[in-house]
């Protein structure tokens, strides 16, 4: 596969490459009461700069990632000094960031944002506030794609999203302020409701259509095809189990993977090895084979991981590998695979 092949997102005028870059690991992602992962400031900038140098033209970020740090680091990267039309940026609404009283000041912070705390909100006013503050951190005049981020984390999130977030985003798209809208979630059930109710362009589906988790296949992805909604696949390695040494403890959706999931991943690894294929290559190319999927956006915590993701999309895989996975009932019979 060609990682730089461009796919059009409906009638938005946006096209994204088959391989983009997710920035959560470059800053730390809020999970529960803490941060997951994280990369030092200087190293993160080097990784983002290298992505731009290699030709990766789609970068996804969010206020939640590192509590503003992912956006700020992208804003300090070489992307902002290149022709704006040459790359696509997506960020999210759903969290606004407030300064911590007495916390680290922006002047004392290498990211230049100070110590912030996220507040869950999907109101119309906070849609506008969030976008304005993201643009400041990103050092950009506009963002191409805005996703509604995780409205399932609060009992009022779905209601606010339906009544306030999407109407506000639809107005901004109509005005030309943003080009494409959607939502970014770790489930498919709520996004299914959204695409049936609103004219959305793209969904960032994290972890629910992977080599190991096919839960989005039967109902959600066909609905996306029917509604001409494209998918950006996040978490293609399910937070590590499809990319790490399985002789050590690994994670699935940021928690320790169960023995059953590890056993399945080992069988997938065995089949890949018998065909001379890296499991990560199979993981990326499998999701890209579905007609609803436009792009996959794995994160990277080093330049080596970034460069490896490119090579994984390019690695040749024969049809026999996919046939063997189906025969072992590791893939659904109706799951599209690369030709």
Q: What proportion of the chain, given as a percentage, has pLDDT over 90?
A: 92
Show Cβ contacts of residue 289 under 8 Å, excluding neighbours closer than 6 positions. Answer: 336, 337, 338, 339
Tell me the whole-structure pTM to 2 decimals.
0.95
Output the tens digit of pLDDT for each of the chain's 339 residues.
Answer: 999 999 999 999 999 999 999 999 998 644 454 545 578 899 999 999 999 999 999 999 999 999 999 999 999 999 999 999 999 999 999 999 999 999 889 998 889 999 999 999 999 999 999 999 999 999 999 999 999 999 999 999 999 999 999 999 999 999 999 999 999 999 999 999 999 999 999 999 999 999 999 999 999 999 999 999 999 999 999 989 999 999 999 999 889 999 999 999 999 999 999 999 999 999 999 999 999 999 999 999 999 999 999 999 999 999 999 999 999 999 999 999 998
Give the separation between CA 177 and CA 225, rounded to whole angstroms: 26
319 φ/ψ angles, rounded to the nearest 5 degrees: -65, -25
285 φ/ψ angles, rounded to the nearest 5 degrees: -75, -30
Give the separation between CA 24 and CA 226, rounded to whole angstroms: 30
The answer to whether 71 and 62 are in contact (CB under 8 A) is yes
- Extract the tokens encoding 210: 């992977």
Which residues belong to the active site? 60, 65, 92
The answer to whether 239 and 67 are in contact (CB under 8 A) is no
| pLDDT for residue 28 | 60
The answer to whether 89 and 61 are in contact (CB under 8 A) is yes
* Residue 98 CA to its chain's centroid (Å): 24
Tell me if the domain spanning 6-243+287-316 has CATH number 3.30.70.980.
no
Show Cβ contacts of residue 160 under 8 Å, excluding neighbours closer than 6 positions. Answer: 121, 122, 123, 151
What is the helix (H) or strand (E) element at residue 4, kind and residue range? none
| pLDDT for residue 31 | 47
Span between the terminal Cα atoms of the chain, in Å: 10
pLDDT per residue as tens digits for the range 91-110: 999 999 999 999 889 998 88
Give the separation between CA 109 and CA 68, rounded to whole angstroms: 12
pLDDT per residue as tens digits for the range 265-311: 999 999 999 999 999 999 999 999 999 999 999 999 999 999 999 99
333, β-bridge pairs: none
**Coil, strand or helix: which one is 227?**
coil
Give the burial class of 21: count Cβ atoms within 10 A of its Cβ; 0-12 exposed, 13-18 middle, 19 or more buried: buried
């Amino acid at each position: 596969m060609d990682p730089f092949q461009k796919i059009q997102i409906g009638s938005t005028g946006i096209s994204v490459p088959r391989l983009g870059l997710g920035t959560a690991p470059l800053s730390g992602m809020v999970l529960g009461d803490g941060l997951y992962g994280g990369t030092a400031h200087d190293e993160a900038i080097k990784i983002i700069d290298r992505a731009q140098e290699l030709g990766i033209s789609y970068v996804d970020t969010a206020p939640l990632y590192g509590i503003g740090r992912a956006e700020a680091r992208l804003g300090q990267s070489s992307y902002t000094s290149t022709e704006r039309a040459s790359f696509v940026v997506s960020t999210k609404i759903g969290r606004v960031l407030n300064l911590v009283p007495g916390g680290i000041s922006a002047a004392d912070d290498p990211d230049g944002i100070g110590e912030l705390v996220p507040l869950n909100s999907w109101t119309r006013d906070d849609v506008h506030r969030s976008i304005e503050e993201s643009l400041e951190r990103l050092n950009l005049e506009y963002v191409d794609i805005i996703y509604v981020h995780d409205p399932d984390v609060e009992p009022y999130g779905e209601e606010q999203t339906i009544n306030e977030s999407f109407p506000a985003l639809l107005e901004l798209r109509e005005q030309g302020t943003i080009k494409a809208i959607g939502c970014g979630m770790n489930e498919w059930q709520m996004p299914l409701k959204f695409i049936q109710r609103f004219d959305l362009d793209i969904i960032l589906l994290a972890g629910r259509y992977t080599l190991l988790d096919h839960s989005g296949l039967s109902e959600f992805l066909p609905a996306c095809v029917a509604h001409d909604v494209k998918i950006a696949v996040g978490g293609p390695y399910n937070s590590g189990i499809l990319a790490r040494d399985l002789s050590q403890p690994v994670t699935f959706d940021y928690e320790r993977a169960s023995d059953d999931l590890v056993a399945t991943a080992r069988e997938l690894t065995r089949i890949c090895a018998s065909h001379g294929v890296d499991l990560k290559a199979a993981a990326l190319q499998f999701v890209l084979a579905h007609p609803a999927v436009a792009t996959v956006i794995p994160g990277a915590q080093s330049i080596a991981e970034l460069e490896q993701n490119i090579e994984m999309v390019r690695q040749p895989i024969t049809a026999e590998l996919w046939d063997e996975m189906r025969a072992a009932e590791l893939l659904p019979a109706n799951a599209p695979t690369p030709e």
